[in-house]
Amino acid sequence: MKNRKIQRALITGITGSGGSYLADYIVDNHPEVELHGISRWHSTTSNKNLKNSIYKVTLHECDLTDFSSIFSVLKTIEPDAIFHLASYANVRASFITPLSVINNNIMGTANLFESIRVLEIDPIFQLCSTSEVYGQVDQKNVPIKEDCPLNPSSPYAISKVTQDLLGYTYFRNYNMKIIRTRMFAYLNPRRADLFATAFSLQVARIEAGLQKELLHGNLDSIRTIIDVRDAMESYWVATTKCDFGEVYNIGGTTVIKVGDFLDMLKKLAKCEIPSKPDTKLFRPSDVTLQIPDVSKFMNKTGWKPRYSFEESVQHLLDHCRSEVEKEIKKS
């Protein structure tokens, strides 16, 4: 199938960890695209994630839970592609503030869909979902295919299931060009709440003498790992090649237990890394086995990851060491 041409794209959550990497990818590889991004007007975070692309992106202050806000932005831009990454995505925190997470993620997505419908614009809509929608999967369903029963295990996962189903509903009933992707675990240096980044930051702090021991939660979960740069490229590929109304698993091929990942970081460290469990880092319920079948996506698009597992881990650790160096210089 011939690739669809995208001229004007909008990324929701563009200043976040994933959205900023997607912006970097588009700016570097598709400079002909007029790129817009939405960030929350009341956000306390800076635009530092976008430092590589900030001057090539038009930013719009917008709250997706405010219908008039997103309606106005879409009317102004009229994008031909939307990458919907904006989300409260911290699984553990969603147990503490469940209603906030559910309201933000569900109503923000519903407002997006309704704005598109009322404005009668016709963008390709990349709905970026997560493997968390599958929850705790029966061993007989591993590796996980797209038709695996949805069994969310957290308020965050519930919000993502609802987004997913809303996407399918708007595709069926309003003929919207919606593609759903369910991303499995990735290494993302810009997102500190992911286990891999949290571990790497602590390793870097211990190396620098800023911390004595590494704190961790559940080490028994099994994941497949992909580099965030590959993950964001896959979103572009999905938007240009995948079928509307369909859902696609995306993930890496390296299978690893969280505890083994920690051991790997300890071996790469410049000093001994003592570690111990911290009860505050354990979730009330956890998803412990997430191995995807990604053949549907790969067969449809021909996409393959560019970065090896080892390259991705080193990239993560180098980034975290750099952040710790900045912390030391500021003190």
- Tens digits of residue pLDDT in 222-259: 999 999 999 999 999 999 999 999 999 999 989 999 99
Task: With CA atoms as reference, report the closest residue to 249 among 287, 176, 298, 305.
Answer: 298
Return the amino acid letter for 162: T
Superfamily of domain covering 8-185+227-250? NAD(P)-binding Rossmann-like Domain (3.40.50.720)
- Higher per-residue confidence, 40 vs 54: 54
User: 296: alpha, beta or left, given left = phi > 0 and alpha = psi -120 to 50?
Assistant: alpha
* Domain assignments of the chain as residue spans, ordered by start: 8-185+227-250, 187-223+254-291+306-330
Same fold, 8-185+227-250 and 187-223+254-291+306-330: no
Which pTM was predicted?
0.95
Domain 187-223+254-291+306-330 = CATH 3.90.25.10? yes
255 and 291 Cβ atoms separated by less than 8 Å: yes
Q: Which tens digits make up the pLDDT trace of 139-149?
A: 999 999 999 99
